[in-house]
Amino acid sequence: MRITLVFLLFTLMSVAPQALADQSDPHLDRLFLQLSKATTPPEAQGVEKEIQSLWLVSGSDTVDVLMGRAQASIGVQDAATAKKLFDAVTEMRPNYAEVWYERGALLAAVGSPQEALPDLERAIDLEPRHYPAIVLAGRIAEETGNKHAALDFYRKAVAINPQLEATRRKIAALAAELEGKDI
């Protein structure tokens, strides 16, 4: 009986996908490879959704509930509550890239780009392929006049997700302005 119970626990632990969720999920490598090979925006969008769904699962029911409540707070334009919830999650799961991105995006949306940038950088440090964080960091760099950094961020994002058409247009415009050439 004891051997059966140990075997059952081992089996459950080895197939529990939630335990490996977020930026450490092993399925992400395959998905990012698919994303890099996507030839159309609709094809890329399908892969993007799969990636984002993995990023949103933290591996903690409590964190997932708090993240959901933060998103609901944003939906009703209660940025203060959303920020408090994101703050709580950063304390609980400091290595969870998505919370840093979400809080950074919130701070950028409410007009605090200088506060947003460290959160976005933390998200990128934890998940270097977090192209939404990279694009947003680029937008903040561009808006604050650091066009060279913006161009670098945008190029990194497009290297990860080649179907980011708006970002490609920004690269072309900035490259023409800063380097005197089109890409």
Q: pLDDT digit string (tens) for 140-166?
A: 999 999 999 999 999 999 999 999 999
Is the domain of 93 the same as that of 143?
no
Q: Quote the DSSP letter at residue 181.
A: S
Token pair recorded at residue 8: 């059952």
**pLDDT score recorded for residue 179:** 86
Do residues 88 and 137 both lie within one domain? no
Q: How far apart are CA 157 and CA 138, in angstroms?
A: 9
Is it the case that residue 18 has pLDDT exceeding 60? no
Is the Cα dihedral 53, 59, 63, 64 positive or negative? positive
Note whether residue 28 is domain-resident: no
| pLDDT mean over 88-110 | 97
Question: Where a domain ends, among 112, 139, 155?
Answer: 112
**In angstroms, rounded to a whole number, what is the distance separating the alpha carbons of residues 6 and 100?**
37
pLDDT at 139: 97
Does residue 46 lie in a domain region? no
Which range, of 23-32, 72-81, 117-126, averages the lowest pLDDT?
A: 23-32
Are 97 and 142 part of one and the same domain?
A: no
Q: Are residues 134 and 174 in the same domain?
A: yes
Over residues 48-80, the pLDDT tens digits come to 999 999 999 898 999 999 999 999 999 999 999
- Identify whether the C-beta of residue 47 lies closer than 8 Å to the C-beta of residue 56: no
Does residue 98 form part of some domain? yes
Whether 100 and 134 map to the same domain: the answer is: no
On whether both 106 and 138 belong to a single domain, the answer is no
Instruction: Say what the pLDDT of residue 17 is.
Output: 34
Q: Residue 17 falls within a domain, yes or no?
A: no
Share of the chain above pLDDT 70, in %: 86
- Tokens found for residue 183: 């890409």
107, 69: one domain: yes
Number of separate domains in the chain = 2
Position 71 in a domain = yes
Domain presence at residue 48: no
In a domain, 91, yes or no: yes
Q: Tell me: do 61 and 108 sit in the same domain.
A: yes
Q: What value does the mean pLDDT take over residues 68-97? A: 97
Confidence of residue 25 (pLDDT cuts 50, 70, 90): confident
Least confident window among 55-59, 62-66, 111-115, 133-137 = 55-59
For residue 153, is it within any domain? yes
Residue-range definition of the domain harbouring residue 157: 128-183
